[in-house]
Structure 1
């Protein structure tokens, strides 16, 4: 047993193959400063990442993260706190601030001039931090500083740059500034700060664990003052970080419970979910949902709301988005669903939700309009009518700033030409009958 424990200790011994402290410090210090080539590389990396986010290309974003030099000042700050080097800490913070400002300006300018201003999935993924982002930043920081302290650096540093993803949140923040979407800016910049803080903390912990030689001061009083300042900085970083991690764990648990509630309440009862939105930060918390094949009564909505207590969703309001909701833009909603189908990668298999939507599509269209016996009723009023079809089409404006909308088109098959007056009467009758504005197209069939 002792031999096994000794072998295990040797296997995970970080002092094996450890580079000399002075050389590691010199290497990290060299990457702290941004001037000359580093500044140009940063600007190019930001532009590449912005383009990748803009065209929704994961490969391009990864390429930008590989060449980004943003890790240098963050690791420098963590190292400086571990060895009591206040001058290095100040230099690291100044350079981190400089790189952050340059990155924001560059990405903002790009998104101001780009003709593609829609938020793609790669952008949206960087607008809201989760507990997983904290874990990735912390573990990535650990891997980064461990690799930096080795004689053979290996390929860990590029991998850390990709995993911690410092560049994309900054570009997304620039997109938020360029388009005046302040929630995008705040969420993305918050994610960037989380990454910086937890990479810095991870670096500090490994430096302390490896017992790097602390900086000595000739004046003992100055040394004590520096140590006090460093201790205050570490405390100021650590306490909010613990609180942040705790709140993100609570929020993540809430979202998981909400997802389980939606699945067991609606999906498992053959009511596929078209739309869902979990508003954790609203007061009160709300869960918005729209389903197919069902219009819920106020009593049913209240019963479903009470079910939330079983899932730990106390104090949450259920908002059903359905056809009788005057505050709900049904046309824009239907357009957004159709757009999602059009934008999806055709090489990827259909998700469970998409398969459910396709299965119930005919029934869903039938439920959008009260069309029972509508063709026979039209024929009774206008003998020329032989059949009709109703479909929603996506209507795109020539101006890219206009939101897409749906246009309802009714195609009426007639066996002989109808007088203009009767066409107007039939169109008016159809709009009242389907309770929806529509465009009527007459097709003469011989």
Structure 2
């Protein structure tokens, strides 16, 4: 092999081991670069508060009109991640001055967000809670997992030499802004349960993003300050995990309750479909109360005997509904509010026909207006025609037999015919051309219509 071939021959690379492939130290930025980057995002000053206010307004509008796209756009421009990662970084390196500064800026950001969203929801005419708002009032264990895993992805992305689109994705996944906007909605409308649930969800996101930051900082072994007393270090770590546990416990309870309610609802709906699927009996309404473990049905059709209902109730434990109660309302049941059923039926009929009724009323009103205008024009034309006839006879007594009407003047093909006044006179003696021309000019001026027609007919001669 020549020297050229040896120089430019492809070099074989050793296969990458599994540990090397998943190593977080492979493309890690320098420690001082990471430190400067995380500290720079903590401060809330200059343009950052304005960006935060506008982002909160955009998110509030998106929640108000139930638009996920608008909400996502607001989360992309939110500057809330900086102070939260600053808290986690300060805990990870035991920099208490950074922790205090980050907490102060996060508190200011939360206050600005709450004031902005509260003012918006006080002023907006749309005060109905949409699904995007309600979805952020009941935190669960899944929100903890989202905040933790999203925070891990975020801090790993921040510590790389080459920045990627991880941070915008984390801002969307952890959804820091919508809970604050929902909390503002709760304040504006005096709904304290909504405010508490939404603010708790925001707190979960903050705590577990900070925890994920601490975990990654510890794993990367970034330089941190040493405690003189080992006992102080143990107390700091114990306090950190106590805060984490106290924040997570309520969400775990809510998650367990949510899963239990969903399982109960699924089993109850399957049970109703299986047991009341007879073609002669129809279930018109199903009301589920997971907390009270109650299934309430309204049936129409042939009345089911009480023994049949009791037999169905005995099969409920086999369907995973042990301890649940079944309440059945039937058409003849005195507990059924017949008035409500009638109102529901009438409301459905009304909804189906309302559009047709509105269209009919609009058509009738339009036709009445057109008829009124036509009658007014006809009455006005009748008086005008009578006056024109008398004036023409006074000028030309030889033309005593006069008819006034409206003629349709043929137009070009594809265009509607035009209407024009027409005077037809039978004259005993033919008018001279000058008089006939003057009569046509007078008729045009009198009727104020350039298309007016004058027809002069000589009287038949007597034999």
1:247 aligns with 2:250: no
The runs of 5 or more residues in structure 1 that have no matched partner are 335-364, 370-388, 396-405, 410-446
Once residues 336 and 91 of structure 2 are traced to their aligned partners in structure 1, the CA distance between those partners, rounded to angstroms, is 53
Number of the residue aligned with 2:123: 113
Number of the residue aligned with 1:230: 236
Q: Where does 1:289-328 land on structure 2 (aligned, <5 Å)?
A: 293=300, 309=317
Farther off after superposition, 263-272 or 183-192: 263-272
1:66 aligns with 2:72: no
Is the contact between residue 257 and residue 313 of structure 1 (CA under 8 Å) also seen in structure 2?
no
Q: Where does 1:147-226 land on structure 2 (aligned, <5 Å)?
A: 147-216=157-226, 220-221=228-229, 225=232
Is the contact between residue 261 and residue 308 of structure 1 (CA under 8 Å) also seen in structure 2?
no
Is the contact between residue 109 and residue 178 of structure 1 (CA under 8 Å) also seen in structure 2?
yes
Q: Where does 1:274-423 land on structure 2 (aligned, <5 Å)?
A: 276=287, 278-280=289-291, 285-287=292-294, 293=300, 309=317, 391-393=348-350
For residues 94 and 116 of structure 1, do their structure 2 counterparts lie closer, same or farther at Cα, with a shift above 3 Å needed?
Answer: same
Is the contact between residue 300 and residue 330 of structure 2 (CA under 8 Å) also seen in structure 1?
no
Q: TM-score, normalised by structure 2?
A: 0.63
1:312 Cα deviation after fit: 5.9
For residues 315 and 91 of structure 1, do their structure 2 counterparts lie closer, same or farther at Cα, with a shift above 3 Å needed?
Answer: farther
1:36 aligns with 2:29: no
Is the contact between residue 264 and residue 290 of structure 2 (CA under 8 Å) also seen in structure 1?
no
For residues 368 and 168 of structure 1, do their structure 2 counterparts lie closer, same or farther at Cα, with a shift above 3 Å needed?
Answer: closer
1:79 aligns with 2:79: no
For residues 120 and 22 of structure 1, do their structure 2 counterparts lie closer, same or farther at Cα, with a shift above 3 Å needed?
Answer: same
Is the contact between residue 74 and residue 196 of structure 1 (CA under 8 Å) also seen in structure 2?
yes
- Deviation per CA, 1:231-259: give whole Å up to 9, x if none: 23312223224534542442243123213
Once residues 105 and 298 of structure 1 are traced to their aligned partners in structure 2, the CA distance between those partners, rounded to angstroms, is 58
- Deviation per CA, 1:156-203: give whole Å up to 9, x if none: 000000011111111111111111122221221121111112211111
- Deviation per CA, 1:280-301: give whole Å up to 9, x if none: 4xxxx44565566578888877
Is the contact between residue 131 and residue 252 of structure 1 (CA under 8 Å) also seen in structure 2?
no
1:131 Cα deviation after fit: 2.5
Once residues 63 and 148 of structure 1 are traced to their aligned partners in structure 2, the CA distance between those partners, rounded to angstroms, is 21
1:120 Cα deviation after fit: 1.2
1:229 Cα deviation after fit: 4.9
For residues 152 and 262 of structure 1, do their structure 2 counterparts lie closer, same or farther at Cα, with a shift above 3 Å needed?
Answer: same
Once residues 197 and 279 of structure 1 are traced to their aligned partners in structure 2, the CA distance between those partners, rounded to angstroms, is 31
For residues 162 and 326 of structure 1, do their structure 2 counterparts lie closer, same or farther at Cα, with a shift above 3 Å needed?
Answer: farther
Once residues 30 and 163 of structure 1 are traced to their aligned partners in structure 2, the CA distance between those partners, rounded to angstroms, is 23
* Aligned counterpart in structure 1 of residue 103 of structure 2, from 69, 73, 93: 93
Once residues 329 and 306 of structure 2 are traced to their aligned partners in structure 1, the CA distance between those partners, rounded to angstroms, is 12
Farther off after superposition, 252-261 or 80-89: 252-261
Once residues 16 and 296 of structure 1 are traced to their aligned partners in structure 2, the CA distance between those partners, rounded to angstroms, is 72
1:267 aligns with 2:277: no
Once residues 325 and 186 of structure 1 are traced to their aligned partners in structure 2, the CA distance between those partners, rounded to angstroms, is 42
Once residues 42 and 188 of structure 1 are traced to their aligned partners in structure 2, the CA distance between those partners, rounded to angstroms, is 18
SS in 2 for 1:205: helix
Once residues 187 and 328 of structure 1 are traced to their aligned partners in structure 2, the CA distance between those partners, rounded to angstroms, is 36
For residues 197 and 11 of structure 1, do their structure 2 counterparts lie closer, same or farther at Cα, with a shift above 3 Å needed?
Answer: same
The runs of 5 or more residues in structure 2 that have no matched partner are 1-13, 358-463
Number of residue equivalences: 334
Farther off after superposition, 115-124 or 247-256: 247-256
1:76 Cα deviation after fit: 1.1
Once residues 94 and 317 of structure 1 are traced to their aligned partners in structure 2, the CA distance between those partners, rounded to angstroms, is 52
Once residues 126 and 43 of structure 1 are traced to their aligned partners in structure 2, the CA distance between those partners, rounded to angstroms, is 20
SS in 2 for 1:215: coil
Once residues 192 and 93 of structure 2 are traced to their aligned partners in structure 1, the CA distance between those partners, rounded to angstroms, is 38
Number of the residue aligned with 2:33: 23
* Aligned counterpart in structure 2 of residue 257 of structure 1, from 258, 263, 286: 263
Is the contact between residue 141 and residue 160 of structure 1 (CA under 8 Å) also seen in structure 2?
yes
| Moved >3 Å (runs of 4+) | 267-280, 285-331, 389-395
Number of the residue aligned with 1:384: none
1:328 Cα deviation after fit: 8.8
CA RMSD of aligned residues (A): 3.7
